[in-house]
Amino acid sequence: MRETEVAFARGRAAYPGVALREDDFGRFLAGAVEGRGEVPEDRLPLEDLFLACACACEVPGAAEAFEAKLGRIVRRAVARVLPDAAEREDAEQRVRHHLLVRDAEGPPRIASYRGEGPLAGWVSVAAIRLAVSMGRSATAERRLRAKAAGEAAGANPELLLMKGELAKEFEAAVEDALGRLSDRERLILRLYLVSGMTLAQIGRSLGVTQQAVSRQLEKIRASVLADVRGRLRDRLAMPKAELASVIRMIASRLNVSISRLL
């Protein structure tokens, strides 16, 4: 097909040292646009698809080309999440292994790239997700303990209601609500509540504006809160006045519970 030949030529021009086979690229390109209808060639990041295909096929020189083009992206994404230098180095290596190395479950993760946006942004999000999963340790634990201590210092009779079975129901309701969120929504919550990133930092990482992140966070939190309220109303056999008191304080505990569950 003429279109594939042109696309392949563009990829080879961008990465002349990567000896990818044209038929392998043709199959990869066909898979990328499958189910998306007619996608104009000028709207596809053909050079990025060429590099992703070469990495997925483990073509000699592909990993080096990936590092030259995207190594800085990986380092910058990881640095936004992990403050410790040793943790960052470990995370960077894990990202490279995760994206570029075949495992027992199948081909390298980069094989799932479909060219729906720049490869740099796709790699950045993948790196952030992995770094976040690693960062749920010492720093996150200290932050959550500090939040919990702050709440305990301001404890009142209503807060004491969260003990025992009520606490279990509350945690279960939050976990159930989080399970209904999309991967991107959970990622945004992790970055904000667990990793402590600012709205501006999250926006830069995801390629959106700070205002868009703020609106998304507000929408996600409202959705979780509504789900939690609904479940508690359905499951708790409590007097209405007491239940209303519990629901009023849900919002103040919601962030800590979300952080711990994420």
The pTM of the whole model exceeds 0.85: no
User: In the block, which residue shows the tokens 């210092």?
Assistant: 153
pLDDT level of residue 111 (50, 70, 90 thresholds): very high
210 pLDDT exceeds 70?
yes
**Same domain assignment for residues 190 and 233:** yes
19 pLDDT exceeds 80?
yes
Q: Where a domain ends, among 134, 158, 187?
A: 134
171 pLDDT exceeds 80?
no
Which pLDDT score, from 0 to 100, does residue 109 have?
92
**Same domain assignment for residues 130 and 193:** no
**Same domain assignment for residues 130 and 159:** no
Q: Please give the residue that has the higher pLDDT: either 35 or 185.
A: 185
Please give the share of the chain, as a percent, with pLDDT higher than 90. Answer: 26
Structural domain count of the chain: 2
Q: Where a domain ends, among 77, 100, 134?
A: 134
Strand partners, 103: 106
Q: Containing domain of residue 122, as a range?
A: 2-134
Please give the share of the chain, as a percent, with pLDDT higher than 70. Answer: 73
Average pLDDT, whole number, for the chain? 78
Segment 56-61 long-range contacts (CB within 8 Å, at least 24 positions apart):
56/28, 56/107, 56/108, 56/110, 56/111, 57/20, 57/21, 57/24, 57/28, 58/100, 58/102, 58/108, 59/18, 59/19, 59/20, 60/18, 60/19, 61/15, 61/17, 61/18, 61/19
154 pLDDT exceeds 50?
no
